[in-house]
């Protein structure tokens, strides 16, 4: 299966937003710091996510991004689709020119698998992931690391 960095980062950033955006907008700089994703890359992803109605932006001091609707109404497949990513298990990228320009014996099998994966991801919401204990544990670890890094930066500036 091929899911590029773009799709993985988009899902990761949206999950971070779902975890941290309950009380206030979340800045892309905060997501970037916690998830180690380039800020400029996040800006590109969030422009697409906003165009597809998955996030809304809040301008001004304390601004950032919010989910445009409840986490139980945003599905992982929607996020991947919004950033123009395809879940594709074929070796030909879905072009059907797998074997010397023609369809190979297993092309339709891999197409069916791709559809199954997309269907699976269509049944998992951000809220489903937020509720998972392991996701909460990882988020807590990332938050602690971010606070430590902030404290270290603050001490070195004094």
**DSSP β-bridge partners for residue 64:** 58
Decide if 18 is inside a domain.
yes
* pLDDT beyond 60 at 15: yes
Q: Which domain holds residue 78?
A: 5-85+123-153
The total domain count for the chain is 1
Phi and psi torsions of 66, nearest 5°:
-130, 155
* CA 116 and chain centroid, separation: 20
| CATH number of the domain within which 57 lies | 1.10.10.10
**Domain assignment present for 46:** yes
In this structure, is residue 54 part of a structural domain?
yes
**Whole-structure pTM over 0.85, yes or no?**
yes
Structural domain contains residue 111: no
Is there a domain that residue 28 lies in? yes
Residue 155: pLDDT band by 50, 70, 90 thresholds? low
pLDDT digits (tens, 9 = 90+) for 18-43: 999 989 999 999 999 999 999 999 99
In a domain, 56, yes or no: yes
Is residue 24 a part of any domain in this protein? yes
Calculated CA dihedral for residues 28, 33, 38, 44, nearest 10 degrees: -10
Name the one residue in this structure whose structure tokens are 């309950």: 22
Q: Name the average pLDDT for the chain.
A: 91
Structural domain includes residue 117: no
């Amino acid at each position: 299966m091929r899911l590029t960095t773009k799709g993985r980062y988009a899902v990761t950033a949206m999950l971070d937003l779902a975890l941290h955006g309950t009380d206030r907008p979340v800045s892309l700089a905060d997501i970037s710091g916690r998830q180690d994703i380039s800020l400029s890359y996040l800006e590109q992803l969030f422009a697409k996510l906003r165009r597809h109605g998955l996030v809304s932006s809040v301008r001004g001091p304390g601004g950032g991004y919010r989910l445009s609707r409840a986490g139980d109404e945003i599905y992982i497949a929607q996020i991947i689709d919004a950033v123009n990513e395809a879940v594709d298990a074929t070796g030909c990228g879905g072009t059907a020119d797998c074997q010397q320009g023609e369809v190979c014996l297993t092309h339709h099998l891999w197409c069916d698998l791709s559809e199954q994966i997309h269907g699976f991801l269509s049944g998992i919401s951000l809220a489903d992931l937020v509720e998972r204990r392991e996701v909460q544990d990882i988020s807590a670890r990332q938050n602690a690391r971010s606070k430590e890094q902030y404290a270290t930066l603050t001490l070195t500036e004094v």
